[in-house]
């Protein structure tokens, strides 16, 4: 089998430049996960590396398929300087480990919750998984492997997450758009939801 992680890191570097920091986290029973940090102007991007080493499998399947299944990495973009967003490394690694630990398939439109602020003082405890392809293009792998998708994460306040559960991801994204919400603002308030 091909080791996909060097290919994934090369794709991240070609799209985002050279990382200026990286951290590794290992959870009991999981493969090592890394989070790379990239700076571009006043925006800092955090990208996971390691989630795509294994395909995500259907949690109802009796056995996980070692080859077939979606592969992904997570990318979070925030404005730098306003908050200590570097503390998001561990929560991001927790989210990236969720397919191995909890057997979830992370896909656009889904919500991921860490149960605590994403970084100290953050008004967000969860993220909305957005559509891939805008910032980092999918990485095609040789058949029969699925491509690696780079999924943007959009931080949600607890009120937004509850509203999304009722109305859906598309409705929340439309609400953000019509309100002109800066989703990269690390201390933004919840969008009006009435």
Rounded to the nearest 5 degrees, what angle is found at the Cα of 126, between the Cα atoms of 121 and 128?
A: 130
pLDDT for 5 equals 94
pLDDT for 83 equals 79
> Maximum distance among all alpha carbons in the chain?
51
The predicted-structure confidence for 26-69, as pLDDT tens digits, reads as follows 877 778 899 999 999 999 999 999 999 989 886 666 666 667 78
Pairing of strands 111-113, 21-25: unpaired
Is the bond preceding residue 144 a cis peptide, omega within 30 degrees?
yes
The predicted-structure confidence for 140-166, as pLDDT tens digits, reads as follows 999 888 999 999 999 999 999 999 999
Q: Which helix (H) or strand (E) segment is 21 a member of?
A: strand 21-25
Question: Is it the case that residue 125 has pLDDT exceeding 90?
Answer: yes
pLDDT for 69 equals 84
Question: Is it the case that residue 89 has pLDDT exceeding 70?
Answer: yes
pLDDT for 143 equals 86
8-25: average pLDDT: 94
Question: Is it the case that residue 1 has pLDDT exceeding 60?
Answer: no
The predicted-structure confidence for 76-86, as pLDDT tens digits, reads as follows 999 987 778 88
Q: Are 141 and 174 in contact (CB under 8 A)?
A: no
Question: Is it the case that residue 116 has pLDDT exceeding 90?
Answer: yes
The mean predicted confidence, pLDDT, of the chain is 90
């Amino acid at each position: 089998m091909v080791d996909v992680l060097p290919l994934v890191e090369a794709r991240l570097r070609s799209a985002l430049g050279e990382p200026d920091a990286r951290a590794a986290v290992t959870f009991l029973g999981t493969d090592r996960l890394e989070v790379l940090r990239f700076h571009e102007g006043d925006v800092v991007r955090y990208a996971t590396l390691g989630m795509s080493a294994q395909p995500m499998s259907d949690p109802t399947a009796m056995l996980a398929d070692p080859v077939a299944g979606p592969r992904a990495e997570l990318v979070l973009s925030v404005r730098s300087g306003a908050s200590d967003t570097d503390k998001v490394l561990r929560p991001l690694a927790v989210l990236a480990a969720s397919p191995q630990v909890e057997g979830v398939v992370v896909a656009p439109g889904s919500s991921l919750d860490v149960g605590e602020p994403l970084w100290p003082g953050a008004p967000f405890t969860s993220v909305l998984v957005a559509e891939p392809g805008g910032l980092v293009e999918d990485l095609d792998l040789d058949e029969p492997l699925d491509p690696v998708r780079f999924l943007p994460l959009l931080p949600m306040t607890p009120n937004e997450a509850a509203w999304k559960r009722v109305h859906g991801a598309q409705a929340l994204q439309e609400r953000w758009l019509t309100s002109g919400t800066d989703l990269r603002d690390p201390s933004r308030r919840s969008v009006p939801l009435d």
